[in-house]
Structure 1
Amino acid sequence: MKKTVDKLVVAGALCLLASCISAPPRAPGIGQPVPWTQLPGWQDERLAQAWPALQSSCQKMPARDARWGELCADAALFPAPDDDTARAFFETRFVAHEVSGSNDTAEGLITGYYEPLLHGSRGKTRRFRYPVYGRPDDLVVVDLGALYPELQGKRYRGRLNNNRVVPYYSRADISNGKRPPDDAVIAWVDDPVALFFLEIQGSGRIRLPDGKMLHVGYADQNGHPYVAIGRTLVDAGLMKLEEATMPAIRAWLKANPEKAQAVLNSNPSYVFFTLREPDSLGPIGALNVPLQPERSVAVDPNFIPLGSPVWLDTSLPGNRDARPYRRLVFAQDTGGAIRGPVRADLFLGFGENAERTAGAMRQRGKLFVLLPADRKIN
């Protein structure tokens, strides 16, 4: 009997030495600090090119996080650093943390978005008959955190009906006539599908018949959840998952006009816009700073703090040799489809190349969040 017990003891010890007892999985989100050498490609990045994005985040972050006050004051001392100076700044002022997804996965989905170009008019015509709505006056936003502290940061959007707040009109409601009044329209466009994708991108430009350009940006949303129409097409057996890229979805909608509206209505979310100054530096993201091409990303703020630097390790579509795409970006936006810890939407700017890349981008990738270092003062 003693020999049996001894064997069990030895077996248990060997099991521990061989890591037979697995460590508990990491919780989704920001994990423990990692050395800079663990960030793939960090030493090769042209970090001076990321400095303007840091300066943009510094416009808002000190009010959100006290640690950013001193950090941004120090950054202001270097208006145009070289790469080595910028790298030294980030390595001394920040600590890198790997972001983990559910089931302890390190990789997640990286997509892209851009500023689309639409054709429209300030007035309704036979050609330009699809409305781009500004924020309607009857949209009510209730701050739930003011009533229930546990719901801090949560808001409910609806409208008043007999002194009761009820859900605002869904996309299907709006397309079927239950819509805001025409005086809420800021422009009329000629393509309902292009208008739908303008909502997904959150900002864009509308070229008027005289050649002038209207710049529009996100103003608000109707409060309904976002549903990806690509998923609708896949679930209906009309498209394979690997085929559900933006160009393919647009092509399907164009080829099936009699079914297009029903597919669009499967996404009840509806976005309202505002006019922005044409000389602004770029579309305004959720952090309320201009987005910068290939330096701004949309993230899920439940996992990654807005304004934070993020090391992005992914690839671009169309690279046959699968060359890595690694760079420092900043979490300056959010989006209805951006949910989960290892999830980012890279802003690619304006123009055909940006549209082409964003439309095809569904890459795997890793994220590392840079959080302010706790600096001790002696």
Structure 2
Amino acid sequence: MIRAKNHQIILAKCFMFLITLVFITAGCVPLTETPSLTNNIRFEPTNFSNIPYWDDDDHEIALEAFNRSCKAILNNPYDTNITTQNPHKNKNWFAVCEIASTLERANNNAAKKFFEKFFVPYSVGQGSIKEGLFTGYYEPVIRGSLSRSERYNVPLYGIPSDMISIKLNEFSDDFPDKVITGRLQGSKFIPYYTRSDIENGKAGLQGSEIAWLEDYTDSFFLHIQGSGQILFEDGSRKRISYAASNGHKYFAIGRKLIQDGEIPKAEISMQRIREWLKQNPSRAKSLTEQNPSYIFFRWNNNTNTKVGPIGSQGIPLTSGRSIAIDRRFFTFGTPIWLKTKIPAAQENKKQDIYRLVIAQDTGSAIKGIIRGDLFIGTGDEAGEIAGKMKEIGRYWVFLPKIK
């Protein structure tokens, strides 16, 4: 009990110091600038008649995905991401979700009319820029084991007992969306161990393993995707999901491969990076350690193969309808009309897509007002598509108009 009280006193001193100075100094973690809608970001209202190919979508599937988000929204009425007064994060989400919950079995026409009646579409831009980067991600299926063996010797860790994540909105309203992660070192709160530290044993995580994989490259890409299915030798599967990160900034190793001339920029993709790691085993770890971000996992009981893994909103993702966004700008559950291209799995072709997707996930690599990562699906074919998807596109966000 005395130790717990001392632990709380140390944290309180560190965080009050943080709030006072805005930046954590003397061994604490610096904050990034809080984004603002005044930073040349524009939300311009428009009409559904101006949304390209709006009438041609499968609105029923989009409404099903939206209703999954609504269940999370209605179950968390104190979410500060929704109750703030920013135009894209407001209390009207509760009212529109209550209406949506009565339409769970709506047909396509009824679903379309629901969005038209209760939302206003907004064109999103930053200055004169209205296009951004859209990528894809998927749920891999990876061979693994619950116990270590000569074959399965690459660990996946659960959340470490010494890692502490702090929601700063519990200390000040000035930081509504900020979370910092670190550990205690004596009386100081310092950044948590980096990927290099963890993989070289400095974090002392023995005993925190929840599964073992047979391939380091598979493990690295599971960290990037954030979730997957572990395939056991008896043929059974179990889903594993993102639980937390070590709080360090994500670095794309593909950028390093381009800089070093290892892979031409025009050829960079998940497949090419995977090939390079396989072909250069002696250099692979030194490259992946350039990315200090590290993911910790948890098991989940979502066995429904008709839906995807659990995303950051805490609900199952929908193939082709769930998108990861920068949560600094949008609340989870926001409907987004997406215009971009999607590659074919095997052929060197691309298809234009215009569809309604729902913001249900986020990721450390998803930064910017016009940036998205589309959930493609589960398995190798979805992985082929996701790995090649790196397209320019734009979107319109739908915001509730209920007063």
2: CA distance, partners of 1:121 / 1:256? 25
* 1:165 maps to amino acid: F
- The question of 1:39 aligning with 2:51 is answered yes
Alignment equivalent of 1:122, drawn from 126, 135, 146: 146
Q: Report how far residue 66 of structure 1 moved.
A: 2.7
1:359 maps to which residue?
Answer: 387
1:83 maps to which residue?
Answer: 108
Change (3 A) 1:267 1:88: same
2:19 maps to which residue?
Answer: none
Identity across aligned pairs (percent)? 38
- The question of 1:163 aligning with 2:187 is answered yes
* 1:33 maps to amino acid: P
Alignment equivalent of 2:366, drawn from 320, 338, 344: 338
Change (3 A) 1:108 1:321: same
Q: Number of residues paired by the alignment?
A: 349
- Secondary structure class of the residue paired with 2:315: coil
Q: Deviations over 1:251-284 (max 9, x none)?
A: 0111111111011000000000000014254311
Task: Tell me the TM-score normalized by structure 2.
Answer: 0.83
Unpaired stretches in structure 1, ≥5 consecutive residues: 1-25
- Secondary structure class of the residue paired with 1:254: helix
Q: Deviations over 1:83-134 (max 9, x none)?
A: 2211111011000001114x52111111000001111111110111110001
Determine if contact 2:308/2:378 at 8 Å carries over to the other structure. no
1: CA distance, partners of 2:61 / 2:328? 28
Equivalent positions of 1:138-153 (< 5 A) are: 138-153=162-177
- Secondary structure class of the residue paired with 1:288: coil
* Cα RMSD (Å): 1.7
Change (3 A) 1:278 1:180: farther
Alignment equivalent of 2:238, drawn from 186, 196, 214: 214
2:196 maps to which residue?
Answer: 172
2: CA distance, partners of 1:209 / 1:239? 35
Q: Deviations over 1:163-215 (max 9, x none)?
A: 32111110011122213422210001011111011011110011112222121
2: CA distance, partners of 1:125 / 1:320? 40
Change (3 A) 1:69 1:303: closer
Determine if contact 2:343/2:389 at 8 Å carries over to the other structure. yes
Q: Which of 1 and 2 has greater Rg?
A: 1
* 2:370 maps to amino acid: V
- Secondary structure class of the residue paired with 1:172: helix
2:61 maps to which residue?
Answer: 49
Equivalent positions of 1:1-378 (< 5 A) are: 28-62=40-74, 63=77, 64=82, 65-101=90-126, 103-280=127-304, 281-318=307-344, 322-375=350-403
Task: Tell me the TM-score normalized by structure 1.
Answer: 0.88
Determine if contact 2:258/2:265 at 8 Å carries over to the other structure. yes
2: CA distance, partners of 1:231 / 1:320? 23
Determine if contact 2:144/2:213 at 8 Å carries over to the other structure. yes
1: CA distance, partners of 2:167 / 2:72? 21
Determine if contact 1:313/1:326 at 8 Å carries over to the other structure. yes
* 1:146 maps to amino acid: E
Change (3 A) 1:258 1:338: same
Unpaired stretches in structure 2, ≥5 consecutive residues: 1-37, 83-89
2: CA distance, partners of 1:200 / 1:180? 23
1:22 maps to which residue?
Answer: none
Change (3 A) 1:97 1:182: same
2:24 maps to which residue?
Answer: none
2: CA distance, partners of 1:188 / 1:322? 36
* 1:198 maps to amino acid: L
